[in-house]
């Protein structure tokens, strides 16, 4: 069974540019999460999809971040325009059931804004 896959694995962009990160969850997993780890800080929750609906987006830092999950399959996280403080690792995770299930993480997308 394929795990959670993320693309790109690494991205270096200039301040003001746009970057789109993609996540493909494990097949059949309705729940999809985005997390972020900024250098030296903890891994922070960004948002949670149940199928194509946003269940919880309380962790999204500001309106420069837009997450979508059209059709309830893969998800994209777009940062526009990117700022220096957006640099970090963006993790995607998925799980089958909402309650009490194991969350499976992707390898993360490293974003560097220069």
Partner 1 sequence: AQRVTQPEKLLSVFKGAPVELKCNYSYSGSPELFWYVQYSRQRLQLLLRHISRESIKGFTADLNKGETSFHLKKPFAQEEDSAMYYCALRSGGYQKVTFGTGTKLQVIP
- Binding footprint of partner 1 on the chain (CB under 8 A): 3-4, 31, 33, 35, 40-45, 48, 56, 91, 95, 98-103, 105-108
Query: Minimum distance from CB of 16 to partner 1 (Å)?
Result: 29
Residues 6+ apart with CB under 8 A from 104: 3, 4, 26, 29, 93, 94, 95
- Residue recorded with tokens 């069974």: 1
Q: Which is nearer to partner 1, 31 or 75 (CB)?
A: 31
Query: Minimum distance from CB of 63 to partner 1 (Å)?
Result: 21
What are the structure tokens assigned to 72, written together? 């309830």
Q: Which is nearer to partner 1, 57 or 81 (CB)?
A: 57
Angle in degrees, CA 34, 51, 59, rounded to 5: 30
Query: Minimum distance from CB of 43 to partner 1 (Å)?
Result: 4
């Amino acid at each position: 069974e394929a795990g959670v896959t993320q693309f790109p694995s690494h991205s270096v962009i200039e301040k003001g540019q746009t970057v789109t990160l993609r996540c493909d969850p494990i097949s059949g997993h309705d729940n999809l999460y985005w997390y972020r780890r900024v250098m030296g800080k903890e891994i922070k929750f960004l948002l949670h999809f149940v199928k194509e609906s946003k269940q919880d987006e309380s962790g999204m830092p500001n309106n420069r971040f837009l997450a979508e999950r059209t059709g309830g399959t893969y998800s994209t996280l777009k940062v526009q325009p990117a700022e220096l403080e957006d640099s970090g690792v963006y993790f995607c995770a998925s799980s089958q059931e909402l309650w009490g299930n194991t969350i499976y993480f992707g390898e993360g997308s490293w974003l560097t804004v220069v």
